[in-house]
Structure 1
Amino acid sequence: MHFVRLLDDQTFEFISTYPLDTFEYGCSVLSCSFSDDNNVYYCVGTAYVLPEENEPTKGRILVFVVEDGKLQLIAEKETKGAVYSLNAFNGKLLAAINQKIQLYKWVLREDGTHELQSECGHHGHILALYVQTRGDFIVVGDLMKSISLLIYKHEEGAIEERARDYNANWMSAVEILDDDIYLGAENNFNLFSVRKNSEGATDEERSRLEVVGEYHLGEFVNRFRHGSLVMRLPDSDVGQIPTVIFGTINGVIGVIASLPHEQYVFLEKLQTNLRKVIKGVGGLNHEQWRSFNNEKKTVDARNFLDGDLIESFLDLNRTKMDEISTAMSVSVEELCKRVEELTRLH
């Protein structure tokens, strides 16, 4: 048996419990509101995991409201598969169900109750496991088919594919960094970023997400979230740098910062010089270790920096600091200041 539980935010005691059906697993959960309805709901996506089925063929979306500290089920919708992801989207509910992306609207019935009503969908995935949205754009992380970009067209009430990454990546998490750049993690412990090519000369170019960054993290990431682990003062330089937090199955929490170009170029030069001075544990080559590596290819890391390596500059003895300072033609004090700025991001 699996349950949906409401916890006290201070003591973490169970306040309310809703039992799911036998063989029914909770796959996704979301707090959201709908158009023309100010109530806040908890939506839960489930799957019936039956021993004789390779992949769930049935699931449910459950909509709860909390009244007097109790979970009240006010609507449910049967689905033809596991509801792997739920997103609030334009006042509606966007669900990833097996190989389909499905959009539901919140409809008021004549008897005063509400129901989820299917509006439109998009097929074409192996298994759509991870979904992030921004405006009308939908970014999907697939079990095998990497990242694809969909767009919701209001006038037609339709979801269409705009572009995709044609590499085979087994995704474990996705996130939208900005309108054009999307971040992915895959099951060979790599990170990569892709860019939407709006300026492409041909339809073929515009339909392809261009891989712009690759990096071996060495950790299996299962969640990205926009945010920061430290207080960010908006008037400071550091406060202007967007960050994404990631969590891994080993319990590691890390930060990915989108650096301004000038700062990136400076720190990349510092990283290159640090590699010459700092020897890896067991004689391992840092550049080799950070190379993007899967079953099909191994390529040098690009457009990612190793913050841990750069911050280790502050732990070097003065002789090694001077060595790097001379190589870069930058004073030790200036180097320390630039690296300390980086440490304030986490």
Structure 2
Amino acid sequence: FKNVGGHQGFFLSGIRPAWFMVFRERLRVHPQLCDGSIAAFTVLHNVNCNHGFIYVTSQGFLKICQLPSGLTYDNYWPVHKMPLKCTPHQVTYFAEKNLYPLIVSYPVNKPLNQILSSTADQESGNQIDNDNLSSDDMQRTYTVDEFEVRILEPEKSGGPWQTKATIPMQSSENALTVRMVTLLNTTTKENETLLAIGTAYVQGEDVAARGRVLLYTLGRSDNPQNLVSEVYSKELKGAISAVASLQGHLLIAAGPKIILHKWTGTELNGVAFFDAPPLHVVSLNIVKNFILLGDVHKSIYFLSWKEQGAQLSLLAKDFGSLDCFSTEFLIDGSTLSLVVSDEQKNFQIFYYAPKVSESWKGQKLLSRAEFHIGAHVTKFLRLQMLPALSDRPSAAPAPDKTNRYALLFGTLDGSIGCIAPLDELTFRRLQSLQRKLVDAVPHVGGLNPRSFRQFQSNGKAHRPGPDNIVDCELLCHYEMLQLEEQLEIAHQIGTTRSQIISNLNDLSLGTSFL
């Protein structure tokens, strides 16, 4: 096509349709996953459909479409930028109403006397001595950050997103976490989906840390006045750094404590707590009745919740010191792994094996793999992998889901990556290929990819973990080698070129939620 939405290139139909667009003499590939296999495609341009296109799906549906105008396609993914005019901190998604609650902060100029009065310790009644400050000093303005939670709704036509509601925080109050939680109302015996916000009052090191937990209901989005209504607010000791829902209960990280609450419809009542030595919880993750807790300095803790007896018990922990940035569970069928990223730009994968002698009767989490990302990973998102073509016989219909999950992650330098599980045979084949490619592929800037991906401990004592991760950034270079080199390397590792390409395609298809 010469002009579809102002772009040129070609469209590849078939089982895995994709757009190939040309930008500045560079080809960008964007898969189209929404309608499955596509049988036919052509360009359409008339009064009713300006520079659009028509395609027919394999089910026999004919669709007349246009490309969304607000997207930039000259990237690895189509990108839609939204001006916020403030700093975003954390976002969550409410699928039921298609809303995105977002924590933002923006600078505000305030006079010094107003700042000093808000930082006075209310509990001990300390008053700040202002005698040594002149009136000019008191009237001088200083910049402080004000926080709020915005409820955003995407525009269906691809236009700018709309702010449906705003929840302002109090003076000196920072919103630390926002999460959609499903709680069981013990009065009505019904599940309620609420917006939970955890905050902290930042008033200097001389003031005891306090925070608030806030619960809101999100109503109909067509009435902005009634969209958000507060149903609960309570002040607690310590900063509320993480919240999560656990089998109808609300799990709150308040300072060094983890407290589990039940919801009565008007009150949160504590039913269990965990008081081991975490200093400051940076992330909470839940799978069934298992809890993964990441601490700012004390690495990760693996807990379980038992309804009978109402107790939170520690199953195992990592005994090393690790400055956690983010944590998440990695699920591969019946295998559960614990992933953590750290301050040295690594991530590690642990597992719980109480029957193995090295685990000290189950007290210690064992290392499954480790890898140097080269960037600070601040968020993992668990997504269900799609079935690959080789996972089923040719005559069998394609299952929609698999019992494998991949972790999508975002980093502080703006990059996005993915960790995905592999079966044993494919892993061994790709690991052998990786060892050959270290020598066969020219190194960027003379930097060895094998040494770069080794765990960086910054001088601390660290026992190397098993080498159980393959680097797909290196493996992707295999397809770019000359055909003779591809055949030679495949022969050296005892396989065929078509088998390697098939494995790489299956991995690409399994993670094509990207």
Q: One fold, TM greater than 0.5?
A: yes
Residues of 1 paired with 2:475 and 2:466: CA distance? 15
Q: In the alignment, does 2:268 pair up with 1:268?
A: no
Alignment of 1:1-346 (within 5 A): 1-10=146-155, 11-35=160-184, 36-53=189-206, 57-67=209-219, 68-69=223-224, 70-108=227-265, 114-124=266-276, 125-178=278-331, 180-200=336-356, 204-227=360-383, 232-233=386-387, 237=391, 240=402, 241-295=404-458, 296-297=460-461, 299=464, 302-344=467-509, 345-346=511-512
Question: Matched residue pairs, number?
Answer: 338
- 1:78 deviates by 1.3
- Indicate if the aligned counterparts of 1:288 and 1:300 stay in contact, CA closer than 8 A: no
SS in 1 for 2:264: strand
Please tell me whether the aligned partners of residues 389 and 506 of structure 2 are also in contact (alpha carbons under 8 angstroms).
no
The DSSP-based 3-state class of the residue aligned with 1:293 is: coil
How far 1:233 moved relative to its partner? 4.7
RMSD: 2.2
**Cα distance change on mapping 1:33 and 1:336 into 2, 3 Å:** closer
The answer for the alignment partner of 1:111 in structure 2 is: none
* Percent of aligned positions that are identical: 25
The whole-number CA distance in structure 1 between the counterparts of 2:407 and 2:389 is 19
Contact 1:146 1:168 in 2 (8 A): yes
1:5–1:293 Cα change, 3 Å: same
Contact 1:314 1:339 in 2 (8 A): no
Is contact 1:290-1:300 (8 Å) kept? Answer: no
Report the CA distance between 1:203 and its aligned residue. Answer: 8.3
Tell me which amino acid in the other structure corresponds to 1:216: H
Q: Matches of 2:359 and 2:420 in 1, distance apart?
A: 32
- Mean CA deviation greater in 231-240 or 335-344: 231-240
C-alpha distance in structure 1 between counterparts of 2:490 and 2:270, whole Å: 62
State the shift of 1:34 in Å. 1.4
Amino acid corresponding to residue 271 of structure 1 in structure 2: Q
1:88 and 1:94 in contact (8 A); partners too: yes
Q: Distance in 2 between matches of 1:2 and 1:47?
A: 11
- Equivalent pair of 1:311/1:343 in contact (CA under 8 Å): no
**Closer, same or farther in 2 for the Cα pair 1:309/1:202, shift >3 Å?**
closer
Q: Distance in 2 between matches of 1:300 and 1:182?
A: 14
TM-score (norm 1): 0.91
> Which stretch has the larger CA shift, 156-165 or 294-303?
294-303
**Structure-1 separation of matches of 2:502 and 2:390:** 14
CA–CA distance in structure 2, aligned partners of residues 284 and 235 of structure 1: 36
Unpaired runs of 5+ residues, structure 2, are: 1-145, 393-400
Q: Secondary structure at the match of 2:442?
A: coil
Aligned partners of 1:203 and 1:245: how far apart in 2? 29
Distance 2:429 2:407 in 1: 21
Give me the whole-angstrom Cα distance separating, in 1, the residues matched to 2:445 and 2:318: 36
In 2, Cα distance between equivalents of 1:83 and 1:234: 41
- When residues 236 and 48 of structure 1 are mapped into structure 2, their CA distance, relative to the original with a 3 A threshold, is farther
Give the deviation of 1:293 after TM superposition: 1.0
C-alpha distance 84-278 of structure 1, shift in aligned 2 (>3 A) = same
Q: Is the 8 A contact 1:76 1:116 kept in 2?
A: no
Q: Distance in 1 between matches of 2:388 and 2:434?
A: 28
Q: Distance in 1 between matches of 2:390 and 2:307?
A: 39
- The two structures have a TM-score, normalised by structure 2, of 0.62
- The structure that has the greater radius of gyration is 2
Of the structure 1 ranges 256-265 and 199-208, higher mean CA displacement relative to structure 2 is found in: 199-208
* Higher RCO structure (Cα 8 Å, ≥6 apart): 1
Q: Is the 8 A contact 2:390 2:506 kept in 1?
A: no
Distance across 2 between alignment mates of 1:163 and 1:303: 22
Partner of 1:341: helix, strand, or coil?
A: helix
Contact 2:251 2:259 in 1 (8 A): yes
